Amino acid sequence: MVKNKKGLAVVLFIFLLLIPIQAFAIDFDITEVEIEAQLNEDGTADVTEQFTYEFEDDFEGITRSLIPKEGMSIEGFTANDSRRDLEVEVEDGLYKIYRSGNDGDTIQVELNYRIVGAVEKFEDGAEFYWPFFDASNESNYGDMTITVIPPAPSSESEALGYGEAFDTTDIREDGTIVFDLGDVPSGENADIRAIFEPGLFPGVTAQDGTVRDELANDREELENEAAAFARNQQRAKAIGIPAIAILGALLIGLVSFAWIKASRRKREARSGTYEFFVPEDSMSIPALLHFTHPNYVAANGMSAAILDLMRKGKIRQLSDDHFELLDRSTDHPHEAVLIGLLIDTIGDGQAFTLEQVEAYTKNELNHEDYNAATTEWNKEVKAEVTAHDFYEKHIGLRWGTGVLSAVFIGLAIVSGIYGLLPWMAISIALAMLAFVFAVGYSPITREGHRVRYEWRSMKTAMEQLPAEQWEQLTMDEKQRAYAYLLGSDLKTAERKAKAFTPAEPANDVSGFAMNPILMTAVFVSASTTVSSSASASGGIAGTGGGVGGGGGGSGAF
């Protein structure tokens, strides 16, 4: 019982935290297992196993791994399904039984084999001590019973189950021993130990020593462990449950208060009637896009960044396709990174063309360098946003909730060990909530909300902005507004292109890009090409974790 609950808790805890996925696994349930071991006078054991499988996928067969204890062996393995004998392949203790079927089928397969050397005889008893499965087993067993039958009626039968088999023993009048395990989760051990009179096994050579005292000592130890487990379980209930409830209420209250406070601050920034205007020039357009749009697309932002460099007189557009460098001095590191990529790496050191961008990114040899440059550009854009302190730190609060997360993890482990599974699940959920809060709680400041609201409102207003209102803006306002629109809402920018981008002389440093939509399409295509290249870049035999190195498990393929 103790090992049962500890093992189940660990399995559930790891599953909930890591959620592992087994690729290509057949979905099935083993709903019933009956194992019968008929002991013979010569010390062999003829084993019959019946497994009932319910499949939720098409399948080719089932597997059974059998790992004999040291000095013993498995012989004569066969399988049938009550209608016919089934083909069996074996390799390194893994038996593959071929019995195909379809999704929704329920099948019953019978396995037969002999354990040679299964019984060891001592001065006071003959012992069958065997693990029919071990911790390497990856399947859950439903309604499992294991029956051990002596070669003749026994009046001195004794038995003990270990792991999942503890406290499951029933000794019948004829000395037959039944271990009723019920449902057994995967990853568990269950050793069964049965002792009979030595005279029932005349074909087995007796060894010096006794075994019944050893079994009695093991039984006492397991019973003491079970009693200690029960006491600790009560202690865990008395202390752990109130702690989870109180700390959970504290955490939920803290998170709720922080959320309400942040929501109120956001509403305050949006109060008042909005009238269209272009916000002040407080940061670069790429940084604004990064800060104001969670789904910011770097390829669109790159086009907006080029327009921003044109506005600042750093780059001049000579034609739809051709751009010339005018000034290498920049206001921000990310602007220097972009100039280095476009002018020096892709271009000729003085200019670049969109055709060169396409040719460069189609060559797979350049993808690593292009990705490295765009990654560096994004990092520097983010650094500009960070420098504006639009997010509150709350270091003490975050450290506090981080510690609280660790406390909940500890409570989850204790709850799982002592079988308080609902409270373990609650603790895990609270630990995750505290961890997410500790890592991610950086509320936006009032100034940050103001900047977001003004630029987002401007973009929304531009969707229906009359041409005459647009013409009232200064050239600098037009350039900043359109560059922001291009980076944040390409569809609206495309609809407004003719109205918002009147033809400018090619040598006008302050002019718009003549075809910003084409430019954006080129960078989106380049990003897609490079990203695509980067992206391109059943049961098993167990390890023998049972008594004496034996064990096994079940599966399907």
Query: Are residues 356 and 450 located together in one domain of the fold?
Result: yes
* Contact predicate 79/97, CB 8 Å: yes
294 has pLDDT over 90:
no
Query: Are residues 377 and 498 located together in one domain of the fold?
Result: yes
Query: Are residues 205 and 94 located together in one domain of the fold?
Result: yes
In a domain, 258, yes or no: no
Alpha carbon of residue 481 to chain centroid: 42
3 has pLDDT over 50:
no
Question: How many structural domains comprise the chain?
Answer: 2
* Contact predicate 186/137, CB 8 Å: yes
263 has pLDDT over 70:
yes
368 has pLDDT over 60:
yes
Q: Residue 37 — pLDDT band, cuts 50, 70, 90? A: very high
In a domain, 158, yes or no: yes
Cβ neighbours around 517 below 10 Å, total: 15
In a domain, 10, yes or no: no
In a domain, 447, yes or no: yes
pLDDT at residue 348, rounded to an integer: 93
Q: What percent of the chain has pLDDT over 70?
A: 88
pLDDT at residue 23, rounded to an integer: 38
Query: Are residues 157 and 287 located together in one domain of the fold?
Result: no
Mean pLDDT of the chain: 84
Structural domain boundaries, residue 130: 27-210
pLDDT at residue 409, rounded to an integer: 93
| Burial degree of 360 (CB within 10 A; 0-12, 13-18, 19+) | buried
Look up residue 199 and give its DSSP letter: G
> 98-112, 255-269, 292-306, 521-535: which range is least confident on average?
521-535
In a domain, 231, yes or no: no
Look up residue 201 and give its DSSP letter: -
Model confidence over 133-187: pLDDT tens digits?
A: 888 888 889 889 999 999 999 999 999 988 888 888 999 999 999 999 998 888 8
Pairing of strands 119-121, 169-171: unpaired
pLDDT at residue 383, rounded to an integer: 93
pLDDT at residue 287, rounded to an integer: 93
* Contact predicate 338/302, CB 8 Å: yes
> 8-12, 49-53, 143-147, 473-477: which range is least confident on average?
8-12
Query: Are residues 464 and 333 located together in one domain of the fold?
Result: yes
Query: Are residues 278 and 204 located together in one domain of the fold?
Result: no
Cβ neighbours of residue 481 under 8 Å, at least 6 residues apart? 278, 458, 462, 473
Query: Are residues 284 and 205 located together in one domain of the fold?
Result: no
pLDDT at residue 549, rounded to an integer: 60
Model confidence over 428-480: pLDDT tens digits?
A: 999 999 999 998 888 899 899 999 999 999 988 888 888 888 888 898 998 89
C-alpha closest to that of 555 among 11, 22, 1: 22
Q: Return the CATH number at 136.
A: 2.60.40.1730
In a domain, 83, yes or no: yes
In a domain, 238, yes or no: no
In a domain, 434, yes or no: no
- Report the distance separating Cα 229 and Cα 541, nearest Å: 33
* Contact predicate 36/147, CB 8 Å: yes
Query: Are residues 192 and 276 located together in one domain of the fold?
Result: no
pLDDT at residue 538, rounded to an integer: 47
Q: Where are the beta strands (DSSP E) in 299-392?
A: 315-317, 322-325, 351-353
Query: Are residues 320 and 466 located together in one domain of the fold?
Result: yes
Q: Residue 532 — pLDDT band, cuts 50, 70, 90? A: low
148 φψ region: left (φ > 0), alpha (ψ -120 to 50), beta (else): beta
Q: Residue 264 — pLDDT band, cuts 50, 70, 90? A: confident
* Contact predicate 547/129, CB 8 Å: yes
Model confidence over 378-387: pLDDT tens digits?
A: 999 999 999 9
Q: Residue 268 — pLDDT band, cuts 50, 70, 90? A: confident
pLDDT at residue 171, rounded to an integer: 92
Give SS3 for 65: strand
354 has pLDDT over 70:
yes
Of 542 and 37, more confident: 37
> 47-51, 416-420, 423-427: which range is least confident on average?
416-420
* Contact predicate 546/133, CB 8 Å: yes
Mean pLDDT in residue range 201-220: 89
Query: Are residues 205 and 284 located together in one domain of the fold?
Result: no
pLDDT at residue 545, rounded to an integer: 58
* Contact predicate 128/169, CB 8 Å: no
Specify which residues 554 forms β-bridges with.
64
Look up residue 365 and give its DSSP letter: G
Model confidence over 487-514: pLDDT tens digits?
A: 887 777 777 666 665 434 434 444 455 5
Give me the DSSP letters along 88-153.
EEEETTEEEEEEEE-TT-EEEEEEEEEEET-EEE-SS-EEEEEES--TT--S-EEEEEEEEE-SS-
Query: Are residues 206 and 336 located together in one domain of the fold?
Result: no
| Burial degree of 21 (CB within 10 A; 0-12, 13-18, 19+) | exposed
* Contact predicate 90/541, CB 8 Å: no
4 has pLDDT over 60:
no
> 241-250, 391-400, 536-545: which range is least confident on average?
536-545
> 90-94, 96-100, 499-503: which range is least confident on average?
499-503
Query: Are residues 141 and 288 located together in one domain of the fold?
Result: no
Q: Where are the beta strands (DSSP E) in 162-264?
A: 169-171, 177-184, 191-196
